[in-house]
A and B are shown apart, each in its own frame.
Chain A
Amino acid sequence: MTTTTSPSTSRPAPPATTTGARRTARGQRRRSTGRRSTPLTIVMLAVLAYFLLPLFWLAVSSTKSTQDLFTTFGLWFSHAPQLLENVRETVTHDDGVFLHWLLNTVLYSVGSALGAALLAAAAGYGFAKYRFRGNNAAFALVLGAIMIPTTALAIPTYLLFAKVDLVNTPWAIVLPSLVSPFGLYLMRIYAADAVPDSLLEAARIDGAGELRIFVTIALRLLAPGLVTVVLFTLVATWNNYFLPLIMLNDPKLYPVTVGLSSWASQAFGGGSGANSNMLALVVTGSLISVIPLVVAFLLLQRYWQSGLATGGVKQ
């Protein structure tokens, strides 16, 4: 199909027609050329195997009992697959604490992701479309803030929260995650492009207030960028381990990451006895906790890929 359409859409072909035409075709629909390289594909498939290997192991292992985990070959199924049983045990162990963790994770990450995205959108839009005193200095500060490692801030934040009794509450997780300098930076770049000044002028002439302009016009135009920020803050909070680890000590409040690692250390440290079955639970729990994000990324790939392009290209 491409070979027939490309010559007609490209310019008059130069003498070296074949490569020239193909190159053009490649640009228009890069992934549908006739010219493929089998060796390169094989190399990349090997690479792919490396990246999927641990996940494959996880999926296989979640069907095994703890005993089989030790005795059967790690990368293939055992004779007695028991995935459902593992899942049941995982969610019922300790009065269903795992479900609590899962719910906590969802609450924390969705809450901070939405909040962070809104804040980033408002601030980024403000930076892109308004001139105010200290505009550039403030933005330089934001850029500097990207470089300040969140983990180095975490312990001071913990000490601060300990003073105001926020430690060991959900707020201790959500509040620090609301501030996303990188999200702000992304939104500023995005807003500068996506919201035309003339549209804002027109709205002002029609008598719309600034807040209304932001809510009804700008937010809508910023939607793809917003999805990117939401998704990446979501991942950051979902996968966050350090912050909840230091902030929370009530197991009922743990997110999945901290909960799983506490199970894991029980499995390793406790040895036999009551904990002998922990390992299978850890493995199955890991699998369950991985699935939602992977699905979200696959479903929303169109958005985050374009959003990342914006951030990476214009510095």
Chain B
Amino acid sequence: MVLFLLMFLAPLGYAAYLSLFREKLIGGNAFVGLDNYVTALKDPLLRQGVLRVATFFVIQVPLMLLLALAFALALDSGLLRLARVIRLGIFVPYAVPSVVATLMWGYLYGPDFGPFAQLSEKLGLPVPHFLSDGWMLGSLANIVTWEFVGYNMIILYAALRTVPQELYEAAAMDGAGAWRTAWSIKLPALRPALLLTLLFSVIGSFQLFNEPKLLQPVAPDVIDNAYTANLYAYSLAFTGQQVNYSAAVSFFLGLVIVIFSYAVLFIANRRRTS
């Protein structure tokens, strides 16, 4: 029992130590109080980065979750041939490191030698500039969606499989068709799982880092060092040497994420009660 307590307290203590350190850091060399945070709030670069990931979140997450939901329902409907192959195939990108995923898509997007560019050249169409300013956010969204639709789909699909069979039987006896069953039985049953995937997506999209960081060498003009909030914190600490400020920025970012997550939870819970 004591052992379990210890085992459990170890990570907690680790987190507590971290949080102490963060305070000590801000008051470290010279005590500046909350000055770093004031600076952060006024920082146009940070605001721009946060806004950009917020835009990303609003566009990408609903799209990804809707797709995941549609795929999960299609798989669960039992109407598919090769369902197993399709399910695993869609999931496979999750096992691909985001580094590799971004490298792959980076080449595919390429305006000179990417297959899309080659194809449209052959067909005499204008070459799509996936890596230009206007397209970049969409291209990033495509990469992230590609990576995580399968993961979310599997969570939803797993939740669907646990719906008790009697419910379907009852619905069928009441004359409900496939669509009606999906709407009245499957969707309500999916609510907790959907909430879980939504929460993970909030967390994931606000700390967007790998994909823009890795596309930076390919499109240096579009992705600056403050393209996303997290990228900004990183470049502050490691190229700007502004360690204290960087810690404040990442803490601030964490705060934004926690607030967003609780907002999502709150809205979801209120819907449930009303």
Interface hits, A18-53 → B, CB 8 Å: 19-20, 23-24, 26-28, 30-31, 33, 35-38, 40-41, 43-45, 47-48, 50-53
What are the interface flags for B82-93 relative to A under an 8 Å C-beta threshold, 1 for contact and 0 otherwise?
111110111111
Give the contacting residue for B95; candidates A23, A31, A265, A297; CB below 8 A: A297
- B66 within 8 Å of A (CB atoms): no
Instruction: Determine if A35 and B79 form an interchain contact, defined as CB atoms under 8 angstroms apart.
Output: yes
Is there a chain A Cβ closer than 8 Å to B41's Cβ? no
Q: Do A290 and B80 contact each other (CB < 8 Å), given the known contacts A156-B25, A210-B1, A311-B196?
A: no
Is there contact, CB below 8 Å, between A54 and B105?
Answer: yes
- Name B52-81 residues within 8 Å CB distance of A: 71, 74, 76-81
Task: Give the CA-CA distance A66 to B216 in the complex, in Å.
Answer: 21
Give the distance in Å from the alpha carbon of A150 to the alpha carbon of B100 in the complex: 20
A230 to chain B, nearest CB (A): 14
Query: Given the known A-B contacts A123-B8, A264-B103, A314-B192, are A52 and B89 also in contact in the complex, defined by CB atoms under 8 Å?
Result: yes
State which residues 268-296 of A face B: CB under 8 Å: 268-269, 282-283, 286, 289-290, 293-294, 296
What's the interface size class on A, roughly? 35 or more
Whether A122 touches B243, Cβ cut-off 8 Å, given contacts A148-B254, A235-B95, A297-B91, is no
State whether A155 touches B233 (Cβ < 8 A): yes
Known A119-B10, A155-B234, A286-B104; judge A23-B168 contact (CB<8 A): yes
Q: Is A84 in the interface zone, CB < 8 Å from B?
A: no
Please tell me if A1 contacts chain B, counting CB pairs below 8 Å. no
Residues of A within 8 Å of B104, CB to CB, are 54-55, 57-58, 286
Q: Are B8 and A156 touching (Cβ within 8 A)?
A: no
In Å, the complex CA distance between A70 and B81 comes to: 38
> Which of A50, A132, A146, A294 contacts B92, CB < 8 Å?
A294
Select from chain A the residue with minimum beta-carbon distance to B260: A147
A155 lies within 8 A of B195 (CB): no
Among B123-174, those with CB < 8 Å from A are 146, 149-150, 154-156, 158-159, 161-162, 165, 168-169, 172-173
Asked whether B4 lies within 8 Å of A23 as measured between CB atoms, the reply is: no
Contacts of A40 in B (CB 8 A): 74, 77, 79-80
Pick from A48, A152, A156: contact of B85, CB under 8 Å: A48
A74 to B82, CA, bound (A): 28
The one of A27, A69, A123, A160 in contact with B17, judged by C-beta atoms closer than 8 angstroms, is: A160
Q: Are B214 and A126 in contact (CB under 8 A)?
A: no
Verify A54–B175 contact, CB threshold 8 A: no
A contact patch SS:
helix
B225 near A: Cβ within 8 Å?
no
Q: Pick from B15, B76, B99: contact of A261, CB below 8 A.
A: B99
Tell whether A51 pairs with B92 under 8 Å between CB atoms, given A147-B199, A312-B156, A313-B192: yes
Answer whether residue B217 sits at the interface, using C-beta atoms and an 8 A cutoff: yes
B210 interface residue (CB < 8 Å to A): yes
Give which listed residue, B84, B251, B258, contacts A156 with CB less than 8 A: B251
Is A127's CB within 8 Å of the partner chain B? yes
- CB-contact partner of B234 in A74, A235, A246, under 8 A: A246
Cβ of A136 to closest chain B Cβ, rounded Å: 13
B80 close to A41 (CB less than 8 A):
yes
Contact across chains for A19 and B118 when beta carbons are under 8 A apart: no
Known: A45-B86, A265-B217. A286 touches B103 (CB 8 A): yes
Q: Does A211 contact B (CB under 8 A)?
A: yes
- Do A290 and B21 touch across chains, with their CB atoms under 8 A apart? no
Give Cα A166 to B96, complex, Å. 29
Let me know if A208 is at the binding interface, CB within 8 A: no
Report 20 cross-chain contacts, Cβ distance below 8 Å, ordered by A residue: A16-B172, A41-B82, A52-B92, A54-B93, A58-B100, A73-B115, A74-B114, A132-B1, A152-B257, A160-B18, A235-B95, A242-B210, A258-B99, A261-B103, A265-B217, A283-B103, A290-B100, A293-B95, A312-B193, A314-B192
Q: Using a CB–CB distance below 8 Å, which chain B residues touch chain A?
A: 1, 3-5, 7-8, 10-12, 14-15, 17-18, 21-22, 25, 71, 74, 76-86, 88-101, 103-105, 107-108, 112-115, 118, 146, 149-150, 154-156, 158-159, 161-162, 165, 168-169, 172-173, 175, 192-193, 195-197, 199, 203, 206-207, 209-210, 213-214, 217-218, 230, 233-234, 237-238, 243, 246-247, 250-251, 253-254, 257-258, 261-262
Question: Can you add 4 more A-B contacts, CB < 8 Å, to A48-B90, A147-B203?
Answer: A123-B11, A152-B254, A153-B250, A312-B197
The 5 closest A-B pairs by CB, nearest first: A74-B115, A126-B4, A309-B158, A152-B254, A312-B193
